[in-house]
A and B are shown apart, each in its own frame.
Chain A
C-alpha cells in the first residue's frame, strides 16, 4: 500500500481533519451534557459523535497510529451502547467521555508530531473499560455472546471486514485529497462555465438517465455529467480549501514586488510623456503609444491594489476559531471550582487577521479563567446577594471602524477596590500615603506579580495573569481596558487592529533617513521654537497645554550623529496608555499606508525599531517602536537598560 500514497501528505491531512473532528466532538459533548439523567437523549447527536469517532479511528488505523485507533474505538463503543439505549447517560459517563476526548487529543498530537505518548492513557483506558464493561456484559447476557467479527474488531486487525473497512477509508481519504487537488488544478487550468455544467448535471440526475440529458451547452459538460453522485457530493463539500499561511505570505511578498514595479512603470510613463511633450518632435504614433502606456499603468495600479486587498482578506479568519475552545474550558473550570456558570458567545463570525487570531487566544484564555476564578461568586454567595445561582460570562466580538472590539464580561462580584489597594501596598506597588481614584486602583491589577486570590489555585491566581495579558495586547497594537462595578461585575475590553500587516504611518526624516511612526500612536505634530524646550533633571521637556512632556531626540537615540537645529524643533507627540512623549525629528513627510515587514532575525532586536517597510520607490523605511521610546523616556534606569540591551 505504501507505494500509492505519500505518507506525509496524509499525516497532514489526518491532523487537519482530526482537529476539526475533535473540536466538533467537544461541542457535541457539551450539548450532550444537557441530557444527563433526563432519560431522554438526542439520537442524532449521539450518532454524529459515533460517526466522528469512527472516522478518527479509521484514519488513525490507516496511518498505523494504533494508540489513537484504540482509544477512538473504545469511545466509539460507548456511543454505540448509548445509541442502542443499553447504557444510561450519567454524569460519570459524560465526564469520562470528556476525558476521553482530551486523551485522544493528546494522543493525536503525539502521533502527528512524533512526540512521546502522553502519560495516563493506559490508566484511562482501564477506567473506561471498567465503566463500559458493566453495560457491555449486561448487553451480552441479554443477547448472548457477541459475534466473532465484533470480537475480532477489537483484537485482530487482520479480520477481513476490518481490512475492507480500512481500504474503504483509504479510498475515501484519497478521493477527498484528490478532489481537492483536482479542483485547484481545474480552477487554474480551465474556467468551465459552472452554471451550464451544473444545469447539465441536474438534468441528468432529475431524469435519472444520462441518455435523457439535453444537448450539452458547454463542451466540458458531458464529462461533468458523467461524474457519479458521490464525487459530486465531495466537490460540493470542498467549497473551502486549506492553504499554508506561508504560501499566502509569499503571495503577499510577490504582490509587494508588483506594487514597486508598477510604481516604476508609471514613473517611466510620466517621464516619457514629459520628454515627448518638451522636444515637440514626437510623431503622433509615439505620442499615442505614450498615452497607451500611461493608461495601462493606471489600470495596472488599480488591479495591483485590488490583489493586495484580496490577499489581506484571505488572511482574515473568524474569531470563533478562538472562542470555540471556551465553552469546554468554562465547563471544566466551573465544575472544579464548584460554580455554576453559563457562557454566552456573540459575534463568533467576526473576521480578523489570522496572526491576530492566533495571538489573541492566550490573553483571552487568561481573561475567561479570571472571570471564572475571581469574577463569578460561588452559588450560595450569589443567592445570598439576591442574584441567580448561575453566573453568566459573556464573550462578544464586533467590528468598529477599522478595529475589532472583543469584550469579556461577567456578572460577578466586581473588583474589590479595598483589597486591590491593600495588596498593592503589600507588594510595594503603592504606599499607604498614595491617594488614588478607584479607577487607578483597578488599573493596579496590571502590575507584574499582582494577584488578589486568597489561595493559589491551578486556575489562576499565580500572579502571572493580567500584566502578561496587557503586554500581549499592547504588542498587537491593541488597547486594553477594564471596567468594574462592585457587586455587579467586571468587563474587559480589547480593541485590536483588523490586520497587523498594513498600518497607517507618519513618515518623518531624521538625518537623511526616512522613518515611519505608526499613526495610531501619534497624537499631533508640532513645530516649536527651540527656546520652548526646558530641561528637568537633565532631561529635555516641553509644556503642552499645561502638561509636561519629555522629549526624545530620535537622531541621538539612534546615534545618527545629526546636528541639532538651533532655532526650531519639529516634534511628533506620541502617546501610549496616557503617557506622552515628544519625538524630535528633522521634518515631517506626510502620511502613508505601509506594509510591515519584520527585520531579519540575523540583525536581532533593535531597541526603538519594530520593523521596516518598503516604500513605493523601492527604498526602505524603518518603523519606530513607540513603546520602547516612551518607556525609555518615562521608565526608570532599570527599565531603560533592559530596553537598550534588547532583552
Chain B
C-alpha cells in the first residue's frame, strides 16, 4: 500500500499519457478515414472521439472527525469559538488521474457531395462522406500533443522528486 501511494504521482501522469495517446490514435484514425465511404457497419465512417472522465477513486477527502461530540459549544458570548473544521484531521485525497470512459461516435449527419458517378451515390446522386473535419482534427491533434508533453513533464518531476528523496541520509 505504501509503495502504491509512493508512486501515485507517476501513475496519475501515466493515466494522462495513456488517455492522450488514445485520443491521438483516434485523431489519426479520423484523418486516415476522412474520405472512407464504406465501413463494416454500412454507410460512411463516423468521427470517433474519446470521452474523458476524471478518475474519482480517491477524490473524496478522507474526513476523520476525531469526535463529533467534541465540537465546542458557546453558551456565553465570552466563550472562545472552536470551529468544527478543527477536527478534520485528514483531507488529502487528490484523485487518480484521468480515464477514457468510452469511445463515442459523432452522430452528426454525413457530408453530402453530389457525384452521381460514384458507386456509393444514392438515388439522388449524392455520396455520403464521413462527418470528419480535417482542420478540426489537426487543431485537436495540437492540443492533444501539448497535453501529452505536459504529462511527460509532470512525470519527470515526480521521478526527480522520488530520486531526490533517495539522497536522504
Partners in one complex: no
Binding site for B on A (CB under 8 A): none
Binding site for A on B (CB under 8 A): none
